[in-house]
A and B are shown apart, each in its own frame.
Chain A
Amino acid sequence: MSTIDSLSNDSLHTDSLYLNTGKGKATHYFDAIVVGSGISGGFAAKELCEKGLKTLVIERGRKVEHITDYPTAMLNPWQFENRLHVTDNDKKQQPIQSAVADESTKHFFVNDLEHPYIQEKPFLWIRGYQTGGRSLTWGRQCYRLSEFDLEANAKEGIGVDWPVRYKDIAPWYDYAEQFVGVSGQNEGLPQLPDGQFLDPMEMNCIERHLRESNQKHFPDRLITIARVANLTKGLKGRGPCQFRNLCARGCPFSGYFSSNSASLPAAFATGNLSLLNDAIVMEVMVDKETGKATGVRVMDAHTHEITEYFASLIFLNASTINTTAILLQSISERHPDGLGNGSGQVGKNLMDHPYGGGAYGEHDDFKDQYYKGRRPAGVYVPRFQNIPGDSISRKYKRGFGYQGDGERAEWPDRMKMEDGFGASFKEKLTTPGPWTFWMIARGECLPYETNRVTLDKEQKDQWGLPLVRVNFEFGENEKAMVDDQKRHAEEMLEKAGFKNIRSFYYNTTGGRAVHEMGTARMGKDPKTSVVNGFNQLHEVPNVYITDGSFMSSSSCINPSLTYLAFTARACAHAVEELKKGGA
C-alpha cells in the first residue's frame, strides 16, 4: 500500500493558501504536487516547501531512506557473493540496467522484466524507481551551460531558440551550486562558465603533467579537475566526502548531493512536505472550463487502486521519458494529442550524449609518486572546437569535451597486462604499475524530430498503461566528430610523452550516458515548443516541467546542474504567479 509519509499529521492539513475549492478528502488537496523525487523533483519540492507551499511529492518507486536504506554502503569486496562480478542472471533480470549496475548498486535500478519498453532501435533506458530516483547513482559532474550553448540553435537555425540567455540563468546556477555543494576550479573560460565552488580536489602527478604539457602545446585545451557534487568540506551538516569512491551505493557520510541526502531533508524540515511512494501518476487532470490542471490521477503500484490528488500547481519531474509518457497519456477534449501538445512537439527531439572517440596511454616517468585516497572523479577537458579562437575548420557543428582520468596500473589492469604467473607475477600484481591516462569524448547531440518517444497503441504494462516506444539514433553530426575526438586525444598524449598510445571509438548505444532529454522543448513560440522560458507549459500555465525534457539543445556537458538551476528559477516564478493569482 502506498502511504503518505510526512513529518507530522499537520502537514496533511494542506492547501494552506486555500486555492482549491473542489470537494473531496482534505488529505488529497495540496498547494503543489511534484511528480518524481529524483534530482529535479527533490529540488522542486525543497524550493516549493521553503516558499511555504504544502507540497506532495509522488514517487512511483519504493521508499529509500537516507543511509538506513543503503544496504551495501559499508560492505567490503569480499562480502559480495560474486565479488562485484556481473553474472548471467543479473543480465537476465536487468538486460538494460546491467550496463551500468553491479552487485553493489543493482537494487537502485529497475528490474527490466517488470518495466518493459519498446526499442524501435537500440536504446538503453536506465531507471531508478525509488525515493531519490537516479540522484542516488548519478555521476555527480556539474557544469554550466554557456552563452555559446544557449545561442547556438538561433545562430544555426537548428531546433528552436532558447528563450533564456546566460545572464538569466547565471544567478540560479549560483543558487543551485551553493545548496548542492560543488567542488571545482574556476578557470575563466567563456565556454565553461565559472561557478560558486568548494575547494577543488587535487589532480595527481600525471594529470598535472598533462595539464602543463597542454599549456605549452595546446593552450586551447585545458585540463581541469572535474567539477563534482562531492563535498570537499562539510556543508549544512553533510559530508565531507571520505574519498571512498563508492558513491552509487548511497553515502552514509552524506558526502555527495542526492535528493535523499540534501533536498528532501530540507523540504521535510519545513513541515510542508508529504511524500507518497509506490504511486504511479497516470495523467494530469485538466478543468474543462479554465483549461488549468487540477491535479493528478494516481495508481497504487501494488493494489492498483486509483486516487486523485489536487493542487494549484503541478511540477512534472518524472525524468524525461516518463514525463513525456504522462503528457501523452493526459488526453482530454482540450488536449486531444496529449497535455500541452498543441505544437505536436511532445516526445520529439530526444537527445542523449554519445560516448565517442578517445585515447589511452602509459607514461614512464613519476615512478616514485603515488596518490592516497580514492577520488570519486577524474579530470575534464572543456570543449575547444567551434568556439572563438578555434583555428581549425571543423566538419561538424558544436563540439565535445573529454572526461579523463590518470592513475597507476593496479591489479585489475596488471592481471591482464603482465604475462606469466608465480611469485614474480604476484610481485607485479601487488605493486603500482606505470602511470596511465585515459580520456573519452562526449559530444553534443543535435535535436532531431525523428528521435522520438511515443506510446504504443496496443501493448500495456502491468498497470494497464501503454508501453513507451523509443525511436532513437545518433545522427551524422555526432558521428562526424569521432575522427577529431580520437586524433586530438592521441596528440595530447603524444606531446606529453606517453607510450603505448591507443585510440578508440566507443560508439555507445543511445541512452548509455543516462542524459536523455529534450522531449518537451523550451521555446518562445507555442506553435513550435512545449514550455516557455520559465518551464511553464504554454497551454497549461500551472504545469511546469523542469526535468531534462525542457532542454532545447543538449550542449556536451553533463546536464543535471542545469535542471537544478532551471528548477529553482521555475519554482520562484510559479510561486510569484500563484501569489498574483495568475497561474
Chain B
Amino acid sequence: MKRRTLIKSAILAAFAGAAGYGGWQAYRIFKTPDVADLKNHLPLINALAQTIIPKTADSPGAGDVNAAAHIVRMVQLASDKKTQNSFVNGLADIANAAYSRYNKAFENCSPQQQAELLTEAQNSGKPWKGSLGKVQQKLLGNSFFTTLKELSCEAWCTSAEGMNQGLAYDYVPGSFQGCVPLAPGQKSWATK
C-alpha cells in the first residue's frame, strides 16, 4: 500500500471511529458499490422522488416525469464511490424500513407513511453545520437524502413538464428588463 493511501486510510479510520461508525458501517460506505443494480429499483426511486416533489394542481411530480432515470444515471456516472454507497445503502434501508414497519413496499405506502420514512432519512442524513459538514461531505460523500433530493430537483426542474408547467420557461426571451413587478402567482424562471 502506498504511503499516501495509508495515511488516507488512517484518517478515515479515525474519522469513522470518532463518528461512531462501527466496522460494518465503514465497510458499507467504502466498499465497491453495486450501482448497476439500481436499474432494478426504478419504481421505488420514482416513488421517493415523488415524495420530494409531489404532484400539485399545476404540475406533475418528480416521479411522474420519471426522475428515477436521471437519478440513477447521475449516481452511476457522476458521483463518487462514497456517495454511490450511501445511495445504494439508503435505498435498501428505506425499502426495508417500509416492509418491517408497514409490511409494504415503499411505493405502496400511503403518502403519510412515505413522508414519515423520508423524514427519518432526512434527519439521519443531515450534514453537520459549518466547516465540519464540509469535512464530513469530503470523507463520507453526500448522504442518501441529499443525493435523492438534489437529483430529484435537477431531474424535475430540467424536464419539459417541470420547466413549462411547474416553472416559467422563456425559451427565447428576445429582450431583457431589469426590474418588472412580480405578477401574482409568478413562478421562478426555469433557467438562469
Contacts and interface: CB of A to CB of B under 8 A. Distances in A.
B167 interface: yes
Given A78-B160, A83-B155, A84-B158, A430 B177 contact: no
A549 B180 CA distance: 45
Contacts of B179: 202, 204-205, 208, 369-371
B174 A374 contact: no
Interface string A299-324: 00000000000000000000000000
B154 A372 contact: no
A242 B173 contact: yes
A23 interface: no
Contacts of B74: 82, 85, 87
Nearest to B153: A415
A426 B176 contact: no
Contact of A423 (B56, B172, B177, B189): B56
A421 interface: yes
Given A410-B192, A422-B51, A426-B56, A372 B170 contact: yes
Contacts of B192: 245, 374, 407, 410, 412
Contacts of B158: 77-78, 83-84
A86 interface: yes
Interface residues of B, number: 46
A368 interface: yes
B157 A243 contact: no
Interface in A379-425: 407-408, 410-412, 414-416, 420-423, 425
Contacts of A415: 149-150, 153-154, 157
Contacts of B90: none
Report whether over half of chain A's contact residues are helix, strand or loop; otherwise say mixed. loop
Contact of B187 (A83, A243, A245, A430): A430
A425 B154 contact: no
Given A76-B160, A85-B78, A421-B118, A368 B187 contact: no
Interface string A146-168: 00000000000000000000000
Nearest to B159: A78
A407 B192 CA distance: 9
Given A374-B192, A426-B53, A426-B54, A411 B178 contact: no
A371 B167 contact: no
A188 B20 CA distance: 62
Contacts of A204: 178-179
A408 B187 CA distance: 12
A421 B52 contact: yes
Contacts of A450: none
A88 B175 CA distance: 37
B166 interface: yes
Interface string B133-156: 000000000000000011001110
Contacts of A76: 160, 163, 171
Contacts of A370: 179-182, 186
A84 B190 CA distance: 14
Contacts of B177: 202, 371-373
B176 A372 contact: yes
**Interface footprint category on A:** 35 or more
Nearest to B160: A78
Nearest to A416: B150
A431 interface: yes
Nearest to B51: A421
B189 A82 contact: no
B78 A88 contact: yes
Contacts of A420: 122
B55 to A, nearest CB: 9
Contacts of A77: 158, 163, 190-191
A140 to B, nearest CB: 15
Contacts of B178: 201-205, 207-208, 371, 375
A372 B73 CA distance: 33
A422 B62 CA distance: 11
A414 B118 CA distance: 19
B153 A82 contact: no
A411 B77 contact: no
Contacts of B73: 81-82
A53 interface: no
B105 interface: no
Given A421-B118, A422-B115, A85 B154 contact: yes
A374 B176 contact: yes
A121 B99 CA distance: 54
B191 A374 contact: yes
A34 B64 CA distance: 55
A369 B182 contact: yes
A231 interface: no
A225 to B, nearest CB: 9
B70 interface: yes
A170 B113 CA distance: 70
B192 to A, nearest CB: 6
Contacts of B163: 76-78
Nearest to A89: B77
Interface of B: 51-54, 56, 59, 70, 73-74, 77-78, 115, 118, 122, 149-150, 153-155, 157-160, 163, 166-167, 170-182, 186-192
9 contacts: A85-B154, A202-B177, A242-B172, A243-B173, A244-B172, A371-B176, A374-B191, A411-B188, A426-B56
Given A76-B160, A415-B153, 20 more contacts: A78-B158, A82-B77, A82-B78, A84-B158, A86-B78, A202-B178, A205-B179, A207-B178, A245-B191, A369-B182, A370-B180, A370-B181, A372-B170, A372-B173, A373-B173, A407-B192, A411-B190, A414-B188, A415-B150, A426-B54
What are the nearest 8 A-B pairs in CB distance? A202-B178, A373-B176, A373-B173, A415-B153, A77-B158, A204-B178, A87-B77, A421-B52
